[in-house]
Structure 1
Amino acid sequence: MGRARPGVRRLVARVAAATLFAALAAGCAARRGVGETPPLPPAQPRPVKVALVLGGGGARGFAQVGVIRVLEQEKIPVDLIVGASAGSLIGALYADARDSFELEAVAWQVEKDDIFDWSLLGSTRGPVTGKALEEFVARHVKAPSIELLKVPFVAVATDLKTGEEVVLDRGPVGPAIHASSAIPGVFRPVSLGGRTLVDAGVVDPIPVSVARARGADVVIAVDIGLELAADEPGNFASISLRCIALLGRELARLKARDADVVILPKVGETSSFDFSRKKELMAAGVAAAREAIPGIRAAIERASTRPDPVPAHGP
């Protein structure tokens, strides 16, 4: 026989290659089952944004110092801090230093006169001017503005005229803390950004919703609300104060319920103005935070494996 022409040889080679490829593909399909989808690689944990929400409570805020110490020791990430009233002061101090030991050192220095500068002259809107609080913040917070704090931070206040919740996320730190902490009837209202502002606790004592609105996947809330005495109030004034306290406690519980973890230090009946129990309050914060650590780790683990939300598409 004569030699095959080059065109015929190329055709034979192509047919042989196609036959070999088909045989290999059939063998692979047989091994995993015809029509079976190859297994997907395991899902990789996604980044989780953790927010720490610090509620109000005056001197009971020292318990939050203990909570932060434990979170730092246990290497729980804090990507956002939202502070209300006393929580705004503790939160700003930590956001500036990002060091629980430095926070604790400052906390030991705080005295009642650093926060409450009583003056009955010159105003009928409240006996505390708030200047001492702003000066204290100026001495201990190095960042000139909220935007330059080491940890993203927002303070929350209440618009006295409209009742709206106001989020303070820019500008000087001192006035924002002052506004967030301006207890009605004690502090004079604060004029800031064209609004008249008072304490965050009037409408949102534990602003979990603010953390969620800013993209938090996991929210750790610290509730330092007053534990009410078991005895029955006996006169008009004590009955009125008890009712106000009950309303505040229920509002705090309502606002905190969307948190992944709520830390409740045992603060007892410590008054908002009692600065003599720092050690006990910090210890209460440490104990409550240690108890909460397993739940916090579990919440972060769940969030890290949760599928990203599918963006909504318009018509």
Structure 2
Amino acid sequence: MHLPERRPTPPRPDSPAIGALLLLLAVLLLPLGCAPARPPVTQPPQAMRSVPPKVGLALGGGGARGFAEIGVLRVLEQEKIPIGLVAGTSVGSLVGAMYADSGRVLDAEFMAVAVKEADLFDYSALSFFSGGLVQGQGLESFLRAHLKHANIEEMKVPFAAVAVDLSTGKPIVFQRGSVARAVHASCAIPGVFVPVQIGGATYVDGGVVDPVPADVARRLGAGVVIAVAIPRGLPLKAPGNAVEVAYQGVAIMQEQITKCRLREADVVIRPDVSGVAFDDFSQKKRLMEAGEAAARLALPEIRAAIAAKTRLVPEKAPSPGTGAGQRP
């Protein structure tokens, strides 16, 4: 007789075996349920710092009227607007050298007050046969006597003087060598000053092709260019001598060139020098005040130009082992 196969009976849910198994699982899973949630990993915010642009000053020509540029420098220093470099043409190179020598406006003011017309215009009848009426050696002597640095590359503030190579008509930017000689070349008004010889080349006033060297300041690395353009205007009277005729002729030619050059400037300052002749050295105080007034009017524009080109860059982390009180 064949008996049917008996299948094992599964344990009931309330059997002791099932209860023991559930208890074991609960004990094993208990630590997982009680573990605190880990907070998300976050990086601290990276410190940033502001990097303002280098401010370049382009100082134009204008004869004695150029002393208004001292007033502009005075305001920039008072308002703590740092000048990273100076490029100057003609009297702008003279004022620029006075400032760049020490980077202090007070020193430039002292020299500006000290310089006399006779220091700049040493007339000589013999000079006429050399291409001008003024030798220009008086200017060089004055600068050598008053500047602390003899060479451009030694100056406190990076400086450049613009002159023109008479044989090619191209502007030349002096960034090395004798300060006095470079400024002399930059100030050598054609027909007034004897052309200046430097290194086998002949140079005249840089204002012939670059009256306000904003383009030079830009090329030398200025992020913001402040240009000081001395209005030439019409003469107060008809030119009465060869010097006035030559200067007025150059001024008329420069007026159109200046408009083109100033496109490179972020800010243009035009001091009111009306009523002062190009060779009137008796009005220095008034001219400096005119420059100061014009610069103060331009301050909002200057600050806006600097702010627009200020960059935020990550703060550099200290190298390992170079914490406070440790040498790198």
TM-score interval (norm. to shorter): 0.7 to 0.9
Instruction: Tell me the secondary structure at the aligned position of residue 161 of structure 2.
Output: strand
Please tell me the root mean square deviation across aligned C-alpha atoms, in Å.
3.2
TM-score with structure 2 length normalisation?
A: 0.77
Instruction: Provide the rounded CA distance (Å) in 2 between the counterparts of 1:85 and 1:241.
Output: 12
Q: Could you tell me which residue of structure 1 aligns to residue 182 of structure 2?
A: 176
Instruction: Tell me the secondary structure at the aligned position of residue 249 of structure 1.
Output: helix
- In the TM superposition, what are the counterparts of 1:183-202 in structure 2 within 5 Å? 183-202=189-208
2:188–2:194 contact (8 Å) kept in structure 1 = yes
2:62–2:91 contact (8 Å) kept in structure 1 = yes
After TM superposition, give the deviation of residue 270 of structure 1 in Å. 2.4
5+ unaligned residues in a row in structure 1: which ranges? 2-11, 30-37, 308-315
The residue identity in structure 2 corresponding to 1:93 is: M
TM-score with structure 1 length normalisation?
A: 0.80
257, 277, 280: which one pairs with 2:283?
277
Identity of aligned residues (%): 49
Instruction: Provide the rounded CA distance (Å) in 2 between the counterparts of 1:241 and 1:102.
Output: 29
Q: Could you tell me which residue of structure 1 aligns to residue 14 of structure 2?
A: none
1:56–1:225 contact (8 Å) kept in structure 2 = no
Query: Is 1:163–2:176 an aligned residue pair?
Result: no
Instruction: Tell me the secondary structure at the aligned position of residue 257 of structure 1.
Output: helix
1:227–1:267 contact (8 Å) kept in structure 2 = no
1:176-232 per-position Cα deviation (integer Å, ceiling 9, x unaligned): 00000000000011111231110000110111111111111011110113123699x
After TM superposition, give the deviation of residue 47 of structure 1 in Å. 3.6
279, 282, 306: which one pairs with 1:300?
306
Instruction: Provide the rounded CA distance (Å) in 2 between the counterparts of 1:191 and 1:229.
Output: 31
2:52–2:306 contact (8 Å) kept in structure 1 = no
After TM superposition, give the deviation of residue 288 of structure 1 in Å. 0.3
Seen in structure 2, the aligned counterparts of structure 1 residues 128 and 215 have a Cα distance that, compared at 3 Å, is same
After TM superposition, give the deviation of residue 254 of structure 1 in Å. 1.4
The residue identity in structure 1 corresponding to 2:218 is: R
Query: Is 1:132–2:149 an aligned residue pair?
Result: no
Q: Could you tell me which residue of structure 2 aligns to residue 64 of structure 1?
A: 69
The residue identity in structure 1 corresponding to 2:167 is: K
Instruction: Provide the rounded CA distance (Å) in 1 between the counterparts of 2:308 and 2:200.
Output: 42
206, 212, 221: which one pairs with 2:218?
212
Instruction: Tell me the secondary structure at the aligned position of residue 45 of structure 1.
Output: strand
Seen in structure 2, the aligned counterparts of structure 1 residues 173 and 218 have a Cα distance that, compared at 3 Å, is same
Q: Could you tell me which residue of structure 2 aligns to residue 248 of structure 1?
A: 254
Query: Is 1:153–2:159 an aligned residue pair?
Result: yes
1:226–1:269 contact (8 Å) kept in structure 2 = no
Instruction: Provide the rounded CA distance (Å) in 2 between the counterparts of 1:88 and 1:285.
Output: 16
After TM superposition, give the deviation of residue 115 of structure 1 in Å. 0.4
Instruction: Provide the rounded CA distance (Å) in 1 between the counterparts of 2:160 and 2:132.
Output: 25
1:57-78 per-position Cα deviation (integer Å, ceiling 9, x unaligned): 1101110111111111111100
Q: Could you tell me which residue of structure 1 aligns to residue 293 of structure 2?
A: 287
The residue identity in structure 1 corresponding to 2:138 is: A
Q: Which moved more, 1:150-159 or 1:252-261?
A: 252-261
After TM superposition, give the deviation of residue 273 of structure 1 in Å. 1.2
The residue identity in structure 2 corresponding to 1:74 is: E
1:33-68 per-position Cα deviation (integer Å, ceiling 9, x unaligned): xxxxx9986864224211111101110111011111
Aligned residues: 279
Instruction: Provide the rounded CA distance (Å) in 1 between the counterparts of 2:59 and 2:133.
Output: 26
The residue identity in structure 2 corresponding to 1:278 is: K
Bigger CA radius of gyration: 2
Seen in structure 2, the aligned counterparts of structure 1 residues 240 and 59 have a Cα distance that, compared at 3 Å, is closer
After TM superposition, give the deviation of residue 306 of structure 1 in Å. 8.1
The residue identity in structure 2 corresponding to 1:280 is: R
The residue identity in structure 2 corresponding to 1:220 is: I
